[in-house]
Structure 1
Amino acid sequence: MNGRDPDAARVRGEVAALVGRARAAQRAIDACDQSRADELAVAAAWAIVEPSRNRALAELAVRDTGMGDVDDKIAKNRRKTMGLLRDLAGARTAGVIAEDPARGLVEIARPVGVVAAITPSTNPGATPANNIVNALKARNAIVLAPSPKGASTLALLIGFVHAELDRIGAPRDLVQMLPMPVSREHTRELMRQADLVVATGSQNNVRAAYASGTPALGVGAGNVAAIVDETADVADAAEKIARSKTFDHATSCSSENSVIAVDAVADALVAALARHGGVRLSRDESARLERAMFPDDRLAPAFVAQSARAIAALAGLDREACRSARFLVVDVDGVGPDAPFSGEKLSPVLAFYRAPTFDAAAARAEALLRFQGAGHSVGLHSKLPERATRLGLALPVCRVIVNQAHCFATGGSYDNALPFSLSMGCGSWGGNSFSDNLNVRHFMNVTRVVHPLPPERVREPTEDELFGDYRRRHGI
């Protein structure tokens, strides 16, 4: 697409019309007070949380994407949106948000303008809702670019949001989406014309966001490994791993892809996972599943976010236990391209590794992360808190999740300190510009008003205060 291409001109014009309407709508709320910003966020949240709408969105998402589970999507839509509103309660996003008289500093929240949000087919309702609520809380307009499979779900969600905006007398053009059928050209042009890009989903879209010339927040790939050490409560770990691995057929990038069990508890963990529906495959079954799931050494889309029963059928696993499993457990030794189960699978298939010691398990987790998923997170089931700190000091991760069901904890939970989000920054390890969970602070600018301190409170340090210890230590 180039500047003289009539199709390029058409795409630019269509996107410019959307963005122009978004800018006009954003100007209408640019100076609104905190109570109005709060109302905008609550209105958008109610659009997905209202029970009949939530069910309609979940059913449409599963029908049109062919991925996930309706009841789990209903739970996810509700939990993620309710949790976000909990996080936003009392958050200041309009006007003066902080004052520090001692330092002469005043901070003022300002909108970024028009947000372009690129959203995935794995979470076509919850992820856009999270972006919309954050954007409106910070007094922005937002234009969303869904995956083609998720476009119908997003269109329904935006219709619900518009009904709530009508209810409170706010402009509908605060929340828009690209026209269907959504094209790559429209998405790339939206990235160029917006003021901020938020990209969740494929790494191709994330890379395009960072290359768009617009400030961008893109997230890294997941490939979560959970270590179960010799001190762990094995029954508790197995229940949490099973619950996390099977939720919404593992659509979350935070679901465990691998478990690394220290030898002392490995057999007990296999047995405990079996009690929660984890069926361990034979060597032959594992080979058949690998050939089916990874033709041409790439994950086949037909396996993504399917039930274990469907995966067993696709792979020709005829054993009754496989057809009735909640999830499938594959014994794995290697890491890397020659061991495809060591990567992200986005399905209820769990790679199982054994390690002689905790240190060996940590080394294996690092190898998995270096292969895929650097920066995202690692799990630990242990009674030794210092081991979690050791992982945080040594591994290329932005989160160490301790004794928790990973997919429910990494994206924020009522029982941990992380903000509710469906977009996890992976820092420089994951090629990202941020390392925390995407939250409302990422959707606003902050203007700082700086006053001079009175002369009696100003003091410059001496050279000896800053360099004295260093000079004496080295005889300078």
Structure 2
Amino acid sequence: MNIIDNDLLSMQEARILVENAREAQKKLATFPQEKLDEIVERMAEEVEKHLKELAKISNEETEYGKWQDKYVKNHFVCEYLKNKLKGMRCVGIINEDKINKTMDVGVPMGVVIAFPPATSPVSTTIYKALIAIKSGNAIIFSPHKRAKNTISKTVDILIRAAEGVGLPEGAIAYLHTVTESGSLELMKHKDTSLIMNTGVIEMLDKAYKSGKPVIYGGNGNGPAFIERTADIEKAVKDIITSKNFDYGVVSAAEQSIVVDSLIASEVKQELIKNGGYFMTEEEALKLGKILFNQDGSPDLELIGKSPQFLAKKAGFAVSESVKVLISNEKFVSKYNPYSREKLCPVLAFYIEDDWMHACEKCIELLLTERYGHTLVIHSKDEEVIRQFALKKPVGRVLVNTAGTFGSMGATTNLFPSMTLGSGSAGQGMTSDNVSPMNLLYIRKVGYGVRMVNEIVKTVNYKEDSIPAILNGKLNVNEIDNYKLLESILKKVLQNLK
């Protein structure tokens, strides 16, 4: 009888994949930007033919969200990201200042290990592959177990397209035998350069322990504040559309609404008009009990489910017209399920006296759970908007737009991205909308433009200082080196000012 140890098999496969990827990346590093662009263009063109099919496969395999909305996300990546990447220089000389005689040279990191989430497996996989190759990196995917077939099929399409126009074999790959041991081997391998983790929280600590740089696109607990000067009708439509999209699985979707008391009644009416359902206290209690497991983890079977499904599970019913379930709340606590991130169409609703109190409430919500992601403010008061931008511990502040779409760059001019950095929370190395530029290091080049003697002459020394040394009048050992260095630094800093 043959006994197969999947852990050992996965670890061995991981080692081979990284070794092959390193050799492929060495070849890739010699490609000019124009050749990399040709490969990226071909990948996007080919996978675009399969976007609807992949959306349906994803929905069937994961049972998260709506395939129609997943199709929109997939198309967004292929269209918006592809267009944004055109003309962007990532490798070679990417910036040159002929006046100041400096240059920036983009250098690929090397081999990137990527963890796509089960909530957006197709769009995130396509996005990561495109930005990796654009920046001259090799990339290996560790598929999420709940979306293994979807991610594998997506990567296979990308590989065929890319290798057909000259991508070195092994530059894009994925782990076929998926185990935790195999994923760990990918991360800690000596030839691995960078780890990109999008929302796979269970692998985050292990990524840090690998000792490699980590880009983490984390989950969020982002509130939306509707200030008294806001366009209420638009603000409410944005929030409902955002939270109902793909049944709330996008990490930047709004989790709570904080409203100025002056307009609270009008906002409530508008929410109901647009498909919001305010639960009774009893209904909210029932739903709150099932959103999370006893250990505090979310119930995976409730992620990306419709409001009707959630209500039925909790023991009450809502009409088919309902798009979002809303719970009236007063307090923020890690023990309050409505204060937490909910990857389903459920919102908390808070009322505050003014924008200052709302500001504090938003900070409370952000600090409760994995802060550092996204905050939305709806307002026409620029001073209030600026205060929110200055004070909130977040990676991005979105103004007068929907969280889901604004964060990924669809309704804003932020970089089109499916990995939204959470670096402001100390999770990962950046809070950017991650782009190819985050997968590079910049080699700085500076030409000499001044002689050392010119620097020395700018400092007014006494007879027993540097000029005396240069003229040979004093022995260096006779100089108080500490005081001399201090004098030089002071003068140089004054001149720089």
What TM-score results when the alignment is normalised by the length of structure 1?
Answer: 0.91
Query: 1:16 Cα deviation (Å)?
Result: 1.4
Partner of 1:474: none
d(CA) in 2 for partners of 1:82, 1:121:
22
Partner of 1:190: 186
Equivalent pair of 2:143/2:152 in contact (CA under 8 Å): no
Partner of 1:416: 412
Question: What is the 5 A alignment of 1:105-144?
Answer: 105-144=102-141
d(CA) in 1 for partners of 2:57, 2:8:
34
Structure 2 vs 1, CA of residues 8 and 353 (structure 1 numbering), >3 Å: closer, same or farther?
same
Partner of 2:286: 288
Partner of 2:436: 440
Partner of 1:81: 78
Moved over 3 A (4+): 6-12, 454-468
Structure 2 vs 1, CA of residues 451 and 351 (structure 1 numbering), >3 Å: closer, same or farther?
same
Structure 2 vs 1, CA of residues 9 and 246 (structure 1 numbering), >3 Å: closer, same or farther?
closer
Equivalent pair of 1:48/1:77 in contact (CA under 8 Å): no
Partner of 2:380: 383
Q: 1:156 aligns with which of 145, 153, 156?
A: 153
- Show CA shifts across 1:123-164 (max 9, x none): 110111111000000111110012101111111111211231
Q: 1:429 aligns with which of 425, 429, 445?
A: 425
Question: What is the 5 A alignment of 1:26-425?
Answer: 26-50=25-49, 53-180=50-177, 182-193=178-189, 194-296=192-294, 297-318=296-317, 320-321=318-319, 324-413=321-410, 415-425=411-421
Query: 1:166 Cα deviation (Å)?
Result: 4.0
d(CA) in 1 for partners of 2:454, 2:391:
41
Structure 2 vs 1, CA of residues 66 and 9 (structure 1 numbering), >3 Å: closer, same or farther?
closer
d(CA) in 2 for partners of 1:340, 1:401:
24
The residue matched to 2:225 in structure 1 has which SS? strand
Instruction: Single out whichever of 386-395 and 280-289 deviates more from structure 2.
Output: 386-395
Structure 2 vs 1, CA of residues 47 and 212 (structure 1 numbering), >3 Å: closer, same or farther?
farther
What TM-score results when the alignment is normalised by the length of structure 2?
Answer: 0.87
Query: 1:452 Cα deviation (Å)?
Result: 1.0
Equivalent pair of 1:412/1:418 in contact (CA under 8 Å): yes
Query: 1:424 Cα deviation (Å)?
Result: 1.3
Aligned residues: 458
Question: What is the 5 A alignment of 1:12-23?
Answer: 12-23=11-22
Partner of 2:464: none
d(CA) in 1 for partners of 2:325, 2:7:
47
Structure 2 vs 1, CA of residues 457 and 378 (structure 1 numbering), >3 Å: closer, same or farther?
farther
Q: Give me the CA root mean square deviation.
A: 2.2
- Show CA shifts across 1:390-444 (max 9, x none): 012112112111000111001213x533101111112242433212111100112
d(CA) in 1 for partners of 2:202, 2:494:
48
- Show CA shifts across 1:86-113 (max 9, x none): 2211111232111123333222222222
Query: 1:293 Cα deviation (Å)?
Result: 1.6
- Show CA shifts across 1:315-371 (max 9, x none): 1113x43x5411111111111122111110010001111111111111100000110
Matched AA of 1:427: G
Gapped runs of 5+ residues in structure 2? 460-489
Larger Rg: 2
Equivalent pair of 1:219/1:430 in contact (CA under 8 Å): no
Instruction: Single out whichever of 249-258 and 287-296 deviates more from structure 2.
Output: 287-296
